[in-house]
Amino acid sequence: MVKKKFKITNMHCSSCAMLIDGDLEDTEGVKSASTNFAKGETEIEFDEEKLTDKTILETIKKTGYTALPQG
């Protein structure tokens, strides 16, 4: 399990954060996702063996938002 933060650029209200959390947590391998609208970032705990950063970025993109990896 690893914890990683991603920047999300185009959320326009706090409900977007809810949608992103929802879709991520429905993804196999994600233990938890916590998106913060004010900071414009999401913290995801996931299983590295089942998921890559790329899949996560794509999941967020499918929800309708642009995500970037963060150091």
Is the CB of 9 or the CB of 52 nearer to another protein?
9
70 binds another protein, rule: CB under 8 A = no
- The residue within the footprint of another protein, chosen from 31, 48, 64, 69 (CB under 8 A), is 64
Residue 58, token pair as written in the block:
């794509």
36 Cβ neighbours under 8 A, 6+ residues apart: 17, 42, 43
Task: Rule CB under 8 A: say whether 17 interacts with another protein.
Answer: yes
Nearest one of 61, 2, 4, 65 to 34, comparing CA atoms: 4
Binding residues vs another protein (CB under 8 A): 10, 12-19, 21-22, 34, 36-40, 64
